[in-house]
A = this chain, B = another copy of it.
Amino acid sequence: MKISDIIEQFIIDIIGEGEVADISRNELASYFRCAPSQINYVLQTRFTLDRGFQVESQRGGGGYIRIERLAIDKNPYLYSLLETLSEPISYTRLLQIAECLVENGIMLPEEGALLTRMTSDKALATPSNNSDSIRSNILKETIIHLIKR
Contact = CB atoms under 8 A, between A and B. Distances in A.
Nearest to A127: B129
Interface stretch (A10-18, A23-31, A103-111): A103-111
A62 B2 contact: yes
Copies in the complex: 2
A34 interface: no
A141 B146 CA distance: 22
7 contacts: A78-B147, A88-B132, A108-B108, A110-B111, A118-B119, A119-B135, A119-B138
Given A89-B136, A115-B118, A115-B139, 10 more contacts: A49-B144, A70-B144, A75-B147, A81-B143, A90-B132, A114-B115, A119-B138, A119-B139, A124-B134, A125-B131
Interface of A: 1-2, 4-5, 49, 54, 61-62, 68, 70-71, 75, 78-79, 81-82, 85-91, 94, 97, 101, 106-108, 110-111, 114-115, 118-119, 121, 124-140, 142-144, 146-148
A86 B142 CA distance: 14
A85 B147 CA distance: 15
Given A75-B147, A135-B124, A85 B54 contact: no
A68 B149 CA distance: 13
Nearest to A138: B119
Given A101-B146, A148-B70, A94 B135 contact: yes
